[in-house]
Amino acid sequence: RQSGPLLLNYGTEDQCRRYLPQIARGECFFSIGMSEPNSGSDLASVRTRAERVSGGWIVNGTKIWTTDAHRNHYIITLVRTEPPSHNRHAGLSQLLIDLRGEGVTVRPIKNLAGGEDFNEVVFEDCFVDDDEVVGEPGNGWAQVTSELGYERSGPERFLSAFRVLVEFVRAVGNEPSPGEAALIGRLASHLVTLRRMSISVAGMLQKGGSPVVESALVKSLGNDFEKLLGERVRLLAPPGNDRLEKCLRQTLLHAPSFTLRGGTREILRGVIARGLGLR
């Protein structure tokens, strides 16, 4: 979703040759190392450091809430390669690190829904070759903000609960009540609008744009849609439909986490407000 485009935009020819074919074949999976413990949503407060050594970098630090790191092969990690200054966005770089390499420890985190999707990733004197620097050293902040456009505007930001709508339509059949028909129409219109917004942002990204505000809008509205979908369908769901009830249970259980992935609601609305000149 975002690692491939990041490598296409900023990676070296060697990196693209080594990794992109594997990504396209579904043989190689990436995690994103951004968030850190005790930093909340302040992405610029990076404390994971990469110190220059002969032939590469030595990385020390911790990343948190890293999705599927216990299953994936590599992690593109935001690190501080220069001492902190008054400009916290300066001196940041991205390194491509083997999750199974020496000096890397991955610890799954069990969530309240019983799953283990998130992880803590600890780097202890982890050596990273010069060939694994993504983009230019010191340009990490600009690269990350462009990368977030892919993360926040992808269709998974409003399709996580789509199965509920499919099963609801199946359950009500060809003769829905007026209330059921109105709900299906309302949800379908929201879905079509979000899809068009997502495609529009994808077009901006393909042209080299930086649709920070637009992608934040897609994610914020998409999260609202997924929450609304589960709540409204629950009120009108026909009783005794096991498939629909199973989908509803899963959606209602996981819905609170949808607003956290890729930036919280508060962070997104701050981004949107700044883009509109409101703050």
By annotation, the residues acting in catalysis are 151
| Whole-number Å distance between alpha carbons of 29 and 147 | 16
Give the 3-state secondary structure of residue 78: strand
- Give the C-alpha distances (Å, rounded to integers) separating 193 from 86, 158, 225: 41, 11, 11
Q: Quick check: 51 and 91 in contact, CB under 8 A?
A: no
Cα 79 to its chain centre, rounded Å, is 18
**Radius of gyration over alpha carbons of the chain, in Å?**
21
CB neighbours of residue 61 within 10 Å? 21
Give the ranges where 41-161 is alpha helix by DSSP (H): 140-153, 156-159
